[in-house]
Amino acid sequence: MHCPFCQHGDTQVLDTRVSEEGDSIRRRRRCSHCDKRFTTYERIELAMPTIVKKNGSRAEYERGKLVASITLALRKRPVSAETIEAAIARIEEKLLSLAAREVPSDRLGELVMRELKKLDKIAYIRFASVYRNFEDVDEFAEVIREVRPKKGVRRVET
């Protein structure tokens, strides 16, 4: 840690404290060269991975894009904003838990599909049709079969 006043490389830690919230550490330092004092903070950095698209191009993870595509899939469906928010939080947690610098967009897509499948079947089919880029009606039918309750099994909508 360089001194901000004289750029000297040798500084001494006088005091270390954890913030009340427990999410940062504050250190009081003294420059051993000019004797000036300054404070540094350490915070936990939760970095989202870079998303690698199919064509190899990379993009920063953007929460807004994720929210937009999920909201679009859930348009006019009976799913509350809180439920959507919780699903997005789970997707982000999962992304962080991968602890990878880069994640293929496919992987992100699968995480979204998994959440939508739990939230709303129609939204799931909508998202899948765009995301998987269905080329024929058979692929579409396949996804519908996936979410359709089996014959003879009564499902209670919750």
Assess 13 for contact with Zn ion (CB under 5 A).
no
Number of residues this chain uses to bind Zn ion (CB under 5 A): 7
Assess 9 for contact with Zn ion (CB under 5 A).
no
Give the residue with the Cβ less far from Zn ion, 38 or 134. Answer: 38
* Helix axis angle, 81-97 to 63-73, nearest 10°: 130
Give the residue with the Cβ less far from Zn ion, 19 or 39. Answer: 39
Rounded to a whole number of angstroms, the minimum distance from the CB of residue 11 to Zn ion is: 7
Q: What are phi and psi of 98, to 5 degrees?
A: -65, -25
- Taking CB under 5 A as the criterion, which residues in 16-75 touch Zn ion? 31, 33-34
Rounded to a whole number of angstroms, the minimum distance from the CB of residue 17 to Zn ion is: 22
Rounded to a whole number of angstroms, the minimum distance from the CB of residue 3 to Zn ion is: 3
Of 5-13, 44-52, 67-75, 101-109, which part binds Zn ion (CB under 5 A)? 5-13
Assess 5 for contact with Zn ion (CB under 5 A).
yes
Rounded to a whole number of angstroms, the minimum distance from the CB of residue 29 to Zn ion is: 10
Rounded to a whole number of angstroms, the minimum distance from the CB of residue 43 to Zn ion is: 24
Residues 65, 139: Cα–Cα separation, whole Å: 26
Half-sphere exposure of 88 (CA within 13 A, CB side): 18
Name the burial class of residue 47, with classes exposed (0-12), middle (13-18) and buried (19+) by CB atoms within 10 angstroms of its CB. Answer: exposed
Under the rule (CB under 5 A), what is the footprint of Zn ion? 3, 5-6, 8, 31, 33-34
